[in-house]
Amino acid sequence: MLNRIFAYGNRTGWLVLAVLVLLILLPLAAVVVQVLLPGVFFGTWQIGDLSLLLDVFKRPLWSQSLKNTLILGAGTTLLGTVIGGALASVRARWSFPGARLLDLAVWLLIITPSFILAQGWVMFAAPGGLARQWLGWDWVHSAVFTPAGLIFIMSLSKFPFAYLAVHAALEWKVDRLSEAARMNGGSSWTAWRTIQAPLLLPAYCSGAMLVFMDAVGDFGLPASIAAVFRFPTLPYSIYSALYTSPIRFDMAGVLSFYLVLIIALAMSLQFYALRKSRYDFLSSRAVRSEPRRPARGDWALAAGTAALLAAAVGIPFGSNLLSSITRSNGSAGSSLTFEHYRQLFANGGQLADGLLHSLGIAAGAAAIGLAVGFLVSYVLTYSTFKLRQTVDVISLISLAVPGVVLGIGYIFVWNQAWLEKIGLLLYGKPAILILASVAGAIPVITRVVTGAMAKVPKGLLAAAQMQGAPFGRRVRTILLPLLRGALVSAALAAFGASVFDLATTSILFPPNFMTLPVVINKAFEDLKFGYAAAATLTGGGIVIAVILAAEWLFKPRKRKERKT
């Protein structure tokens, strides 16, 4: 009966699948096709020279970019997973001063774009940076701007992914397993190493995979570090290929292919590692983990956490703040000034236009993405659509694929002459930025809405349909009121992520149509650290204010019951 009632979801499923293919799968397929048939998207039919795929090992820039990406990804994955896993284990077991501050810092690092964090480190560790000017630490520059130093910086910004994955897995515990080990003479370390750690392997693998994907596809850190230190990676070299003369589409396509291949191989390795083992250890004896106060050493835990947060959060944000309010980019002895903030809007400054453009793009992406994500969630939750698993996989692909690769695909798809005849030549127009932002927002929106939608029984919708309510009315009168809070949260999360999307906007922004992240990054590349810092804090503050205002306006609030 319910299957017949929700057969409408099959039509919705085909519609959703078509939209996801257009927004996500087609651009990614275009990157691969460009390697096999170069020029096919520009009217030239010829078989590609597949030897270009091997040139990545011969051409110095290509091979160095591949090598740097692998080193940065592997090192960050190892160190970031160790830091995140250790902190999660400590946080789940012990209660200590500053523990809640750690949770707040984790979310702050996740939502802050990597290029802003990297810019803060550059201001701190540059040859004439804050570390030398204010603290007299001449060694910081040579320590930070090395492959090992970049791995350390990247790990401090990516460890929250591993932290969240492991911390979620530690929500429930079964003490009988560890107790059995202790009764047989095993120490606490032995019990953790031989029992708890192996059972947490899926969580560690998931966290490591998130860290790895975000590290190898990161465009913001290499783009910022390039101002003072040359460390080419695949995402940055792809970007450079599009801004050389002539444009090197062949280079961009080949490097994008290898970037996608690296991520695919890493995901395959994770599946292989987990395919033969069982990790379903929870039983009726499982209890929710409650952090407890350690008998001693709580202040040592607090001090260690404070030191880590000072490096991960204090240095990048503090450097931005100090550089924005002092002359000479934060040099010691410089007087306080608000000149950098005045320059943001003086003489037709680019910040106002860039901020308005970014807010408009983000608003459009949030609105369209919310509509698409809602339908995806409906198909995944209620429909009997036979390709639901395919819809689920495609909706998550853009989360794993770097923004620079997605941007390359959008150029290939939407920069064709025949599209101009039907008015759909989007390359070079703001609309292409909205579409790319929608593709990036869909995974976030879908995960949030699907979780909330799963709590709404099918029976409610079935009863309404049996009373003659059409699909639109069922959505308007049942789902939207019940999911209002989740929809607002999903839209605001997509909005915030789209505003600071440096990778796709740097590749796709039209001439004379600057966006906020592009304005900030260009000022930073010109070594205008004070201006870039002021633009970062001003733009970020305005975006946060917009999000808070929208949340207050649209999120449901509990009504106070009148006493009778």
Q: Shortest CA distance to 532 belongs to which of 111, 121, 119?
A: 119
Give the three-state DSSP class for 359: helix
Output 520-529 pairs: Cβ under 8 A, ≥24 positions apart: 520/115, 520/116, 520/119, 521/115, 521/223, 521/224, 524/119, 524/122, 524/224, 524/227, 525/223, 525/226, 525/227, 527/227, 529/119, 529/122, 529/123, 529/126, 529/323, 529/329, 529/330
- Beta-strand pair 172-173/287-288: antiparallel
What's the 3-state SS for 103-122? Answer: HHHHHHHHHCCHHHHHHHHH
Q: How far is residue 146's CA from residue 166's CA, in Å, rounded to a whole number?
A: 30
pLDDT score, position 1: 43
CB 45: neighbour CB atoms within 10 A?
7
Reported as a pLDDT band with limits 50, 70 and 90, residue 41 is: low
Q: Shortest CA distance to 409 belongs to which of 27, 19, 24?
A: 27
Whether residue 9 is predicted with pLDDT greater than 80 in this model: the reply is no
Query: Is the full-model pTM beyond 0.85?
Result: no
Query: How many C-alpha atoms does 278 have within 13 Å on its Cβ side?
Result: 3
Which of 44-48, 409-413, 448-452 shows the lowest mean pLDDT across its residues? Answer: 44-48
pLDDT score, position 72: 93
Q: What mean pLDDT do residues 536-553 have? A: 87
Whether residue 4 is predicted with pLDDT greater than 50 in this model: the reply is no
Q: How far is residue 384's CA from residue 12's CA, in Å, rounded to a whole number?
A: 10
Q: How far is residue 349's CA from residue 352's CA, in Å, rounded to a whole number?
A: 7
Whether residue 284 is predicted with pLDDT greater than 50 in this model: the reply is no
For residues 350 and 514, the answer to whether their CB atoms sit within 8 Å is yes
Q: What mean pLDDT do residues 105-123 have? A: 87
Would you state the structure tokens that stand for residue 258, as one six-digit string? 């290898």
Strand partners, 326: 336
- Answer with the residue of higher pLDDT: 334 or 409: 409
Q: How far is residue 320's CA from residue 324's CA, in Å, rounded to a whole number?
A: 6
92-123 residues labelled b (16+ CB within 10 A) or e (exposed): beeebebbeebeebbeebeebbbbbbbbbbbb
Mean pLDDT across the chain, nearest whole number? 81
pLDDT score, position 6: 45
Phi, psi of 336 (to 5 degrees): -70, 145
For residues 476 and 517, the answer to whether their CB atoms sit within 8 Å is no
CA dihedral of residues 476, 478, 482, 488 (deg, nearest 10): -20
Cis status of the peptide bond prior to 160, with omega within 30 of 0: no
Reported as a pLDDT band with limits 50, 70 and 90, residue 158 is: very high
DSSP 557: -
Residue 224 CB contacts under 8 Å (≥ 6 apart), including other chains: 115, 118, 119, 122, 521, 524
Reported as a pLDDT band with limits 50, 70 and 90, residue 332 is: low
Whether residue 287 is predicted with pLDDT greater than 60 in this model: the reply is no
Q: What mean pLDDT do residues 368-380 have? A: 90
pLDDT single digits (tens) 347-364: 666 788 888 999 999 999
pLDDT score, position 191: 64
pLDDT score, position 506: 86
Pure H helices in 170-297: 175-183, 188-191, 197-199, 201-216, 220-225, 234-242, 249-274
Whether residue 117 is predicted with pLDDT greater than 80 in this model: the reply is yes
CB 178: neighbour CB atoms within 10 A?
18
Provide Rg for the chain, Cα atoms: 25
State the angle between helix axes of 529-554 and 315-324 in degrees (0 to 180), rounded to the nearest 10: 110
- Answer with the residue of higher pLDDT: 6 or 432: 432
Give the three-state DSSP class for 282: coil
pLDDT score, position 561: 45
pLDDT score, position 558: 53
pLDDT single digits (tens) 169-224: 776 555 556 666 666 666 666 666 666 666 677 778 888 888 898 888 888 888 88
Strand partners, 287: 173
Q: Shortest CA distance to 242 belongs to which of 473, 407, 131, 6?
A: 407
Would you state the structure tokens that stand for residue 383, as one six-digit string? 């429909």
Q: What mean pLDDT do residues 147-161 have? A: 91
